[in-house]
Amino acid sequence: MKRWFKGALVLSVLGILGWAVPSVGYEAMSVTNGGTIVGEVKYAGDPPPPEKLPVTKDQKVCGSEPKLSQALLVGPNKGLQNAVLSLADIKKGKAQEKPAKNPTLDQKGCEYHPHAQSFPAGTTLDILNSDDVLHNVKTASTVNSPINIAQPKFKKKISQVFGKPETIKVQCDVHGWMQAVLVLTEHPYYALTDTNGSFKIADVPPGKYTLKVWHEKLGEQTKEVTVKEKEEVKVAFELKGK
Ligand SMILES: [Cu+2]
């Protein structure tokens, strides 16, 4: 057996067993001369009005008014919220720190709060049920094992760890309109755009990188970006509706 094939086989077996396969090629180091990437992600063209999602059950708890979809949030200046930026090919940089408090995904009013969030892979996520109703948390993850957990109204918290970097869509099987996005990061060079579509990635070691943007409805795009020591570089993305 060729050596590379053996190596690949060992890695894939470890992966199947659910071991944390060391993320290939990211190395932590101290960064003192880093630059900053700032930018905006905009929606190209005229955005459609937010989709109305009818509440088809549990109206006593969930309300009877349709929920406004959070999957495409475009601000007045066409800034796109919750677009995920990442330096796709960074090999070395500052260490990724786990958040001081566990991030939460709250099911409240039969909606997920927040709709999209990012945190380091391996962090414990507290999934809360603030509603007096049964929810069901289901992921369509492929790198991490998918989960499908009923969360009755008396079970106020489920703690879940997703060990590997992946962007995961979450949905509730009981209430089909409930959807969320979790971005499990492999290094600290990720950002989610704010309500104006703005983002900032700081302490980037000088060099050339591929900056990727991904949005749950609009797909992805990449741009080459050159970061210089202690300088700020501006990048603009425009994503088209499908
Ligand atoms: Cu639900």
pLDDT 10s digits, 25-72: 799 999 999 999 999 999 999 999 999 999 999 999 999 999 999 999
Q: How far is CA 108 from the centre of its chain?
A: 20
Distance of CA 136 from the midpoint of ligand 1 (Å): 6
Distance of CA 183 from the midpoint of ligand 1 (Å): 20
User: Under a CB-based contact definition with an 8 Å cutoff, are residues 170 and 180 in contact?
Assistant: yes
- pLDDT for the residue numbered 235: 98
pTM over 0.85: yes
Q: Does the structure show a pLDDT above 70 at 166?
A: yes
Query: How many CA within 13 A on the CB side of residue 197?
Result: 22
Q: Does the structure show a pLDDT above 90 at 109?
A: yes
185 by Cβ neighbours in 10 Å (0-12 / 13-18 / 19+) ranks as buried
The predicted-structure confidence for 110-124, as pLDDT tens digits, reads as follows: 999 999 999 999 999
Minimum mean pLDDT range among 24-28, 36-40, 184-188, 221-225: 24-28
Distance of CA 29 from the midpoint of ligand 1 (Å): 42
- What average pLDDT score do residues 123-136 get? 98
Q: Does the structure show a pLDDT above 80 at 95?
A: yes
Mean pLDDT value across the chain:
92
Distance of CA 120 from the midpoint of ligand 1 (Å): 25
**φ, ψ of residue 131 in degrees (nearest 5):** -100, 155
Distance of CA 98 from the midpoint of ligand 1 (Å): 28
User: Under a CB-based contact definition with an 8 Å cutoff, are residues 160 and 67 in contact?
Assistant: no
Q: Does the structure show a pLDDT above 60 at 80?
A: yes
Q: Does the structure show a pLDDT above 80 at 177?
A: yes
How many residues make up the chain in this entry? 242
Distance of CA 129 from the midpoint of ligand 1 (Å): 9
Distance of CA 150 from the midpoint of ligand 1 (Å): 9
- pLDDT for the residue numbered 24: 59
Q: Hunting for tokens 């995961």 — which residue is that?
A: 168
Distance of CA 56 from the midpoint of ligand 1 (Å): 11
- pLDDT for the residue numbered 8: 46
Distance of CA 110 from the midpoint of ligand 1 (Å): 5
Distance of CA 189 from the midpoint of ligand 1 (Å): 32
Q: Does the structure show a pLDDT above 70 at 136?
A: yes
Distance of CA 112 from the midpoint of ligand 1 (Å): 9
Distance of CA 193 from the midpoint of ligand 1 (Å): 26
